[in-house]
Structure 1
Amino acid sequence: MTARRIPVIAALDAGTYYHHRTFRTPELAPCIDRKIYIRDLDGEALRGCDALIVSCRSNPDLLVPHRDLFARFLAAGKTLVAMGETHSERWLDSVRWTPSEVNFWWWKEPGADSGLRLAAPAHPLFSYLTLADATWHQHGSFEPPPGAQSLIDKAGAGSVLYEDRHSTPGRLIVTSLDPMYHHGSHFMPASSRFLRGFLPWLKDSTPVIDQDMACA
């Protein structure tokens, strides 16, 4: 009997202190199998990977030249995670983004309400984390493409986290949240809780795709 291959999760490393801390946090490190320095990203670096996390606040100027590589990765049926502050609208065809003013201290206001709502409370992700774990502040919101599923909405403004299994043969997860930045900055405890739920869910839910030719 052949053992089932465990999915390989890769993450881009932009050489920042917040990526460094995230990748070396003991409870998070087992969820990331391969770290790829952003300037070394190519088809060979992705060979054998089932999912790629484009980590928070990676420089979009270094991502845009890989637009076709990301498209081929998704076309091969693989999972791509576009995290916050990477300007994914610049390097992914289906992403529609609206920036907003950031209120870093909204919870200090009387009757404070983040505006975030679970859009799909029965989704398996929410067996791993809660809305509170995804609540700090937002930089903007997305308009999910037709067929995509918003997981967390910003009331009256769109989605801050959605999953798209419709636009490509793969799975695209897009969020405006930037948990690696805050976890690595020791700022916003919710962001650490988010990673402790999101990364295990990603590892558990990513299908194994033995197809690399489309990404080479």
Structure 2
Amino acid sequence: MRADIVMLHGGSHSQLATLDDPALAPYRIRPLHIRTADCEDLRDADVVVVSDRLRPDLLARWHEPILDRLERGATVLVFGENSVGEWIPGITEQRRPTVFWWWRTGEDHRLRLRNPTHPAREFLTDRALIWHYHGVLSLPSGAVSLVDLETPEGGQDGSVLLVDEARGGRLLVTTMDPVYHHGSGFMPGATQLLYSTLYWATR
């Protein structure tokens, strides 16, 4: 049976370009504009994708419906810069400077892969998980980090991508912003992360 996938978006160029990507057509994603769509449109969704960089004031009315779908067994993907620390219980978020071009400058990106045997890692290549970030997340009880950020001194700063399967459904949260970069046409790792998380979410 085909999964019912919805994507919350705000109509930005990158979000519309992502929704128009022919490679995603087989998923038959239903786009929901956060300003004009009805929260009832989430009722039967198997997968909820929260695009990165949505306006917090417009996203606010969707918080409860998204968490309700999660509790009822849906898979929820929340991409970067969506103030998750303010509305997903158990998660705190702290911003961090973005290291954009570490592969050119030779700077240490300080991203470290974790939990290589976690089932989600079968779908996520190293390139999909290591490109950049906009902050760090605390781990709620029962969650697993797949990517951590180290401090410059070598300590653990926080998670950049976590998976939480203790809320009824499956929750993936990351401070990376794959929809923006995929739709904008730069950072190949962003495209891999977007494609891979959608594939994981529908399995």
TM-score (norm 2): 0.89
Q: Are positions 1:136 and 2:135 aligned together?
A: no
Partner of residue 190, structure 1: 189
Q: Determine if the alignment matches structure 1 residue 126 to structure 2 residue 128.
A: no
- 2:153 alignment counterpart: none
Instruction: Determine whether 1:82 maps to 2:81.
Output: no
Name the structure 1 match of 2:163: 163
User: How far does residue 138 in structure 1 lie from its aligned partner after superposition?
Assistant: 1.3
> How many Å apart are 1:196 and its aligned residue?
2.4
Name 1:14's counterpart in structure 2: 10
The one-character-per-residue Cα deviations of 1:81-128 (angstroms, maximum 9, x if unpaired) are 111011112222222111111222223334x33222221212233322
Q: Verify the 8 A CA contact 1:60 1:90 in the aligned structure 2.
A: no
Of 120, 145, 153, which aligns to 1:150? 145
C-alpha distance 131-58 of structure 1, shift in aligned 2 (>3 A): same
1:57-89 C-alpha deviation (Å, 9 max, x unpaired): 111211123332223222222222111011112
* C-alpha contact (below 8 Å) 2:42/2:65 kept by paired residues: no
Contact 1:180 1:191 in 2 (8 A): yes
**RMSD across aligned positions (CA):** 1.7
What percentage of aligned pairs have identical amino acids?
Answer: 38
Classify the secondary structure of the residue corresponding to 2:49. Answer: strand
Q: Is the 8 A contact 2:113 2:148 kept in 1?
A: yes
The amino acid across from 1:56 in the alignment is D
Q: CA deviation at 1:13?
A: 2.1
Are the counterparts in 1 of residues 42 and 66 from structure 2 also a CA contact under 8 Å?
no
CA distance in 2, matches of 1:80, 1:198: 10
Q: Distance in 1 between matches of 2:63 and 2:190?
A: 28
Greater RCO, CA 8 A, separation 6+: 1
- Partners in 2 of 1:158 and 1:32 — Cα distance? 34
Return 5+ residue gaps in structure 1 as ranges: 205-216
How many residue pairs align between the two structures?
198
